[in-house]
Homo-oligomer: A and B are copies of this chain.
């Protein structure tokens, strides 16, 4: 049936359209049913691919007339409608066949290559409802998948969008996440690129953490570019640090992530396929994977991290990507700063003052960069770290970083001091003297988020003293930054109720 579309100016987390009650009766649809919308081109022909959406009904309101449907903005944009060209065909859709495959996975069966491609295609098309995708995610969480299934998943996800071919020598670094202040990308990328290797790094924005690499990089330069501009930047500088979300890499993966995030579920098969598919899209052939292990990460024990690493390497190889994994310490933040601007500042400080910057940030960055330098043949085996340090100490990494910032539209002459941070600062003091025996990442993240992270880029925290430090009563051991006094107050209240440090020689509690 043919309908005229009306843009509603409404925004949902789903593709929704509103149809008149009587029209819905005619196509036999009830609220929550799925329909396929296919766009008519101006010449009257129908587009080949349709988009699936969920029906809501209007009952006798003026919102939509008979023969008209109201579209939420996501759907209007997805269909690329305009005021001149807004006629669509709408058909009621049955539950897609791929749902049967999902329930076969729920029941513990191995899926065929075709079944996996069907599921992933339907994720891209929006043909599966969120609860159906949830069944797939939970099914994988419990039943796991074979290596063959994961290879199929990665392939299907990658080819749900465009796959770049940048030649054989394309390098990358990725982290499975979970440790605060992990701004190593801002140091590794310039080191590796300064050594002459191509590293087209795509990063994420924070969703549940105080800052993602894309958020920190955005303090220094733009991170959102169309694909053509990304290719230009890579050609000019050998490197770039982009927000992957803007590039529509592996759109099927995004549909899955939209369900995984609210479920706090990231089953291994999807985690592996997601990383690999996004690397495939950027044409990556060799990579180092940073796997932070410890409480609060996806790998609470080293054993779990090791098991994942072995599996990841193996599957990546089957896809044609050589991967080396480093299990890394996640017991306290990398460096001292947490929050977009504070992290950009700490990374720039290290690049500008290699001898004086944070040791943990320096060590972790050069250790990860070393792997890529050796894989790329620019350093001999075992000689990667020395080369990485040399590139950092010589100022070549800083020079490359300034090139990247310039190519991405930032100020290439920026100094770490120029980076603005929250104007309201709370200095938290040690209430007794002693050694810091433990740092609690969970509370650090929480305090940074209460202070405004990641949306308020200048907010964040500085962990002045880390594990093993001896502090005296009255020493400033922790700073909180925010542009909002209200938020700062909330963060301080939380800090006082949940100290992010433990001290030896101090009673924790007496009841």
Q: Which residues of A contact B (CB under 8 A)?
A: 8-14, 16, 18, 30-32, 54, 56-61, 63, 72-73, 95, 99, 103, 106-108, 129-135, 137-139, 141-143, 259, 262-265
- Note all chain B residues with C-beta closer than 8 A to A9: 58-61, 63
Q: Once the chains bind, are B106 and A57 in contact (CB under 8 Å)?
A: no
Q: Once the chains bind, are A8 and B108 in contact (CB under 8 Å)?
A: no
A434 to chain B, nearest CB (A): 34
The 3 A-B pairs at the shortest CB distance, nearest first, are namely A13-B32, A9-B61, A134-B134
Q: Of B32, B108, B264, which is within 8 A of A12 by CB?
A: B32
- Note all chain B residues with C-beta closer than 8 A to A32: 12-14, 262
- Note all chain B residues with C-beta closer than 8 A to A108: 142
A213 to chain B, nearest CB (A): 21
10 A-B residue contacts at CB 8 Å?
A8-B63, A9-B59, A9-B60, A107-B142, A129-B262, A130-B130, A131-B262, A132-B134, A132-B263, A138-B142
Q: Once the chains bind, are A141 and B73 in contact (CB under 8 Å)?
A: no
A345 to chain B, nearest CB (A): 26
Contact A263-B11, Cβ < 8 Å, known A73-B59, A106-B141: no
Q: Once the chains bind, are B11 and A56 in contact (CB under 8 Å)?
A: yes
Contact A59-B11, Cβ < 8 Å, known A103-B265, A262-B129: yes
- Note all chain B residues with C-beta closer than 8 A to A54: 13
Chain B: CB-nearest residue to A133: B131
Q: Which residue of A9, A30, A99, A135 has the most chain B CB atoms within 10 A of its CB atom?
A: A135
- Note all chain B residues with C-beta closer than 8 A to A130: 130-131, 134
Contact A142-B263, Cβ < 8 Å, known A9-B61, A10-B18: no
Q: Of B31, B103, B264, which is within 8 A of A103 by CB?
A: B264
A31 to chain B, nearest CB (A): 5
- Note all chain B residues with C-beta closer than 8 A to A143: 142
Q: Of B12, B14, B31, B72, which is within 8 A of A11 by CB?
A: B31
Q: Once the chains bind, are B58 and A10 in contact (CB under 8 Å)?
A: yes
Q: Once the chains bind, are A265 and B135 in contact (CB under 8 Å)?
A: yes
Q: Which residue of A32, A129, A131 has the most chain B CB atoms within 10 A of its CB atom?
A: A131
Q: Once the chains bind, are A31 and B12 in contact (CB under 8 Å)?
A: yes
Complex CA distance for A415 and B263, rounded to whole angstroms: 56
Q: Once the chains bind, are B63 and A131 in contact (CB under 8 Å)?
A: no
Chain B: CB-nearest residue to A139: B138
Q: Of B11, B30, B137, which is within 8 A of A57 by CB?
A: B11
Q: Once the chains bind, are A12 and B59 in contact (CB under 8 Å)?
A: no
- Note all chain B residues with C-beta closer than 8 A to A59: 9-11, 73
Complex CA distance for A13 and B30, rounded to whole angstroms: 9
Complex CA distance for A143 and B141, rounded to whole angstroms: 12
A206 to chain B, nearest CB (A): 14
A110 to chain B, nearest CB (A): 15
Q: Which residue of A11, A14, A132, A259 has the most chain B CB atoms within 10 A of its CB atom?
A: A11
Chain B: CB-nearest residue to A62: B9
A307 to chain B, nearest CB (A): 17
Q: Once the chains bind, are A132 and B262 in contact (CB under 8 Å)?
A: yes
- Note all chain B residues with C-beta closer than 8 A to A138: 106, 134-135, 138-139, 142
Q: Once the chains bind, are B262 and A61 in contact (CB under 8 Å)?
A: no
A485 to chain B, nearest CB (A): 17
Contact A142-B12, Cβ < 8 Å, known A130-B130, A130-B131, A131-B130: no
- Note all chain B residues with C-beta closer than 8 A to A18: 10
Complex CA distance for A157 and B145, rounded to whole angstroms: 34
Complex CA distance for A265 and B104, rounded to whole angstroms: 12
- Note all chain B residues with C-beta closer than 8 A to A135: 134, 137-138, 263, 265
Q: Once the chains bind, are B61 and A10 in contact (CB under 8 Å)?
A: yes
A41 to chain B, nearest CB (A): 28
